[in-house]
Amino acid sequence: MRSYRSNAGPFNERPYYTADEIERICVDSLRVVGLYPDSPESIRIDRFIEKRFKVVPEYEDLGPGVLGMAKFGNNGVQGIVVAKSLDDENSKTNERRIRSTLAHEGGHGLLHAHLFAFAADRLLFGENTPSGPVVLCRDISGSAKSSKYSGQWWELQANMAIGSLLMPRALVLKAISKYLVPSGQLGLNVMSQEKRGDAVNELADLFDVNPIVASIRIGEMFPENRSGQMSL
Amino acid sequence: MSALYAYTMNTTLGEKIRELRDKKDMSLRDFAKKLGDVSAAHISDIELGRRYPSDSLLVKIASLLDVSVEELKKFDCRAPVDEIKRLVQSDPAFGFAFRTLVDKKITPEDIIKLGENKPDRGKR
């Protein structure tokens, strides 16, 4: 991880993580609390939040469009809150959305807690710095397409953590090996366009995530526009 | 003051439930699902001390955590306000007694010690 000085946004420091670094941080964190499974299966993300950050997930009315938030203090994560509306409607889609939200907030906890360590000495949010814990929120606009960058690098990084926490790369590769074909002289694995839909559905069921989340993860690992370039 | 007494006084019902749930390696959502008709939000509120479980829910919680309801109730630190009111209304001496407790600044430990030496009410 590298850090840059930042004049824009709420922080005066901007950490830069590669995708591999985020993957390693997330997988190591899952392992430390004994929640990295041996084979592809649903990650117990709610238990991870409790064990890793020692907080009980809270459910509150967060206002329209806000799915979750992480509260930070000088000692790291102070609380993780999920929109109560997601829990009220008992559906598979919402249950999975809660899982994604917990993973997103967990991502903030893993990747950004250090930014708040000296919050008392810094004016994180300009004149609007709250006196209590500082929060980072996940809203609907940032949840659909995680790869879209809108200047909020902390949200982009937390979205990348969703994939790594809910669908660790090594487990995904095990799960979808039958959909991969070696291509080019180097024999690099690629996923053909026609098999993507099946792979997405299988991953979504196996890891208990919504298909859009599985689709984004497969897109990150096997970019669609690259499959043709692998033929050397 | 005994260690057990200090532990009971310093641990809320919600914290005790969380501690027992942790020992069983159950997440809050798993716990709510196993309890049946109760939301994770409700259990979260109970563990965070924002609300108390109904008697019927407490029975289910105790059963799932393999403890007795009585054991959990030891951690319910709410004052039985309604019962105190009823006692004062039924016998003014209780009002005088409670006032004395306040005026003399009698400690909770003293009251509990006194209570431990008396048989349970209703069992006399």
Which of A90 and B51 is assigned the larger pLDDT? B51
Give B 32-61 residues with CB within 8 A of chain A: 39-41, 44-45, 47-48
pLDDT band at A144 (very low <50, low <70, confident <90, very high): very low
Which helix (H) or strand (E) element contains residue A221? helix A211-221
Residue-level pLDDT at A125: 43
pLDDT digit string (tens) for A51-83? 999 999 999 998 888 899 998 887 889 999 999
Residue-level pLDDT at B8: 63
Give A 8-67 residues with CB within 8 A of chain B: 44, 46-47, 50, 56-59
Candidates B18, B23, B27, partner chain A, best to mutate (most A CBs within 10 A):
B27
pLDDT digit string (tens) for A175-216? 999 898 888 888 788 888 888 999 999 999 999 999 999 999
Runs of H (alpha helix) within chain B: 3-10, 13-23, 28-35, 40-47, 55-64, 69-73, 81-90, 92-103, 108-116
CA distances from A120 to A35, A116, A117, A124 (A): 33, 8, 8, 9
Ranges of each domain in chain A: 2-166, 169-226
**If you average pLDDT over each of A161-170, A177-186, A223-232, which comes out highest?**
A161-170
Burial B96-108 (b: 16+ CB within 10 A, else e): eeeeeeeeeeeee
Distance of residue B8 Cα from the nearest chain A Cα, in angstroms: 21
| Backbone dihedral angles phi then psi of residue B53, each to the nearest 5 degrees | -75, 150
CA A126 to chain centre: 27
Nearest to A56 among B25, B39, B44 (CB): B44
pLDDT digit string (tens) for B88-112? 888 888 888 888 888 888 887 788 7
Q: Reply yes or no on whether the pLDDT at B45 is more than 80.
A: yes
Candidates A54, A59, A81, A208, partner chain B, best to mutate (most B CBs within 10 A):
A59
Residue-level pLDDT at A183: 81
Q: Reply yes or no on whether the pLDDT at A20 is more than 90.
A: yes
**If you average pLDDT over each of A173-177, A222-226, B117-121, which comes out highest?**
A173-177
Q: Reply yes or no on whether the pLDDT at B17 is more than 90.
A: yes
pLDDT (average), residues A14-25: 93
Distance CA B29, CA A197 (A): 30
A163 and A216 Cβ atoms separated by less than 8 Å: yes
Residue-level pLDDT at B78: 74
Query: Which ipTM did the prediction report?
Result: 0.79
Residue-level pLDDT at B6: 61
Kindly report the average pLDDT of chain A as a whole number.
83
Q: Residue A199: count other Cβ atoms within 10 Å of its Cβ.
A: 21
A67 and A86 Cβ atoms separated by less than 8 Å: yes
pLDDT (average), residues B63-81: 87
A75 and A69 Cβ atoms separated by less than 8 Å: no
Distance of residue B81 Cα from the nearest chain A Cα, in angstroms: 28
Of A125-134, A149-158, A218-227, B31-40, the least confident: A125-134
Q: Which residues contact A10 (CB under 8 A, 6 or more apart)?
A: A124, A125, A126
pLDDT band at A146 (very low <50, low <70, confident <90, very high): very low
Burial status of residue A127 (CB atoms within 10 A of its CB: 0-12, 13-18, 19 or more): exposed
CA distances from B2 to A188, B7, B19 (A): 67, 9, 20
The C-alpha angle with vertex A18 and arms to A16 and A23, in degrees rounded to 5, equals 120
Distance CA A183, CA A110 (A): 36
Nearest to B27 among A50, A84, A87 (CB): A50
The answer to whether the CB atoms of A87 and B40 lie below 8 A apart is yes
Q: What predicted TM-score, i.e. pTM, was given to this entire model? A: 0.80
Kindly report the average pLDDT of chain B as a whole number.
85
Burial status of residue B46 (CB atoms within 10 A of its CB: 0-12, 13-18, 19 or more): buried
Q: Residue B1: count other Cβ atoms within 10 Å of its Cβ.
A: 11
Distance of residue B44 Cα from the nearest chain A Cα, in angstroms: 6
The answer to whether the CB atoms of B41 and A84 lie below 8 A apart is yes
Distance CA A8, CA A13 (A): 9
Sign of the Cα torsion A29, A62, B37, B43 reads positive
